[in-house]
Amino acid sequence: MLKIMLWIALLLLSACAQQPGKPLQIQALEQLPALAAEFETIVESDGGQQRYQWRFWRTAKRVETHNLQDNTGEIWTKSADGKIAYERVFHDQQQVIEYTPGDLNAIGSVPDWSAIATLLNQPMIAGLVEDDHEQVLGRPASHYQSNTLEVTWLDREQLPALIKRNDHGHTITTRVIGIYPLAESPWSYQRSTNYRYTDFADIGDKESDPFIQSIQHKIKGAHNHSD
């Protein structure tokens, strides 16, 4: 009898050992908590290291980022019918380039709200397997790993605390350095009403506008279907 029990116990242990870790699952997008966070991204290569900080604000219908290094940002908004619009914000110049959903379609850009709101797209999530639990900034988090990616996921906040990946000889590490419920955010994303708005569709007619000339290389207008 003891031998049989020992054999069952060994079988269970071996089954547990062979069971793969849990994949990363994002909860319903409508239920993602509204929050503000600050991240630091470090890009390392043989040539050295680049480091920059950026902020992130999220509600159910709106995501904004603000790169503190070049003082630019991005805003994504989702309408009631699920269409996504985009704004590229240049704070120093107080200028905004607006993209309607139709503009985004016309440049072959298909925005993925899940990726915008969680910083992880489906191909990144696909290979991740949970291998540990930890605390980040006093919050419970789960650690996931794949062949190319390492993610620490804040379970309650539904946001990565760490994304580390190797890409074309670069190691890119993004780490959360502050996180707050949106209502308690120390950083406001309210802008002055003096910002000038330009439709993306109108950029082609502003060939002599010095601002438009200066940001040509920074704006969305790419050829692939996923940016």
Partner 1 sequence: MDHKQFKVIVLASLFIAASTAQADNIVETPDFWLESGKRNIKAAEQLKPNNTYAKNVILFVGDGMGISTITAARIFEGQSKPNNRGGEENSLSFEQLPYLALSKTYSANQQTPDSAPTMSAIITGVKTNDGELSVSAKLPREEKNADVVNANKVKTLLEQAEEKGLSTGVVSTARVTHATPGACYAHTSERDWESDAQLPADANVKDIARQLVEFNIGNGLEVALGGGRSMFLPTTVADPEDTDKTGGRKDGLDLTKQWLNKYPKSAYVYNKAGFDAIDAKKTEHLLGLFERSHMEYEHDRLSDAGGEPSLTEMTTKAIDILSKNKKGYFLMVEAGRIDHAHHAGNAYRALSETVELSNAVRKALEKTNAKDTLIIVTADHSHTFTIAGYPQRGNPILGLVKQPGEANFAKDKNGLPYTTLGYANGPGYRGSNVRPDLSSTDTAHPDFLQEAAIPLGSETHGAEDVAIFASGPQAYLFHGIQEESYIYQVMAKALKLKPGQ
Choices 10-18, 28-36, 129-137, 214-222 (CB under 8 A): range interacting with partner 1: 214-222
Positions 70 through 89 that interact with partner 1 (CB under 8 A): 77, 79-81, 83
Minimum separation from the CB atom of position 223 to partner 1 (A): 5
Q: List 199's β-bridge partners, or say none.
A: 98
Positions 14 through 73 that interact with partner 1 (CB under 8 A): 61
Q: Please, is 154 exposed, middle or buried when counting C-beta atoms within 10 Å of its C-beta (0-12, 13-18, 19+)?
A: buried
Q: Residue 52 in contact with residue 73, Cβ under 8 Å?
A: no
Considering only residues 22, 23, 206, 226, which one is a binding residue for partner 1 as defined by CB under 8 A?
206
132 is a contact residue toward partner 1 (CB under 8 A): no
103 is a contact residue toward partner 1 (CB under 8 A): yes
Considering only residues 101, 124, 141, 176, which one is a binding residue for partner 1 as defined by CB under 8 A?
101
Q: Which residues bind partner 1 (CB under 8 A)?
A: 61, 77, 79-81, 83, 98, 100-103, 105-108, 110, 193, 196-197, 199-201, 203-208, 215-217, 219, 221-223, 225
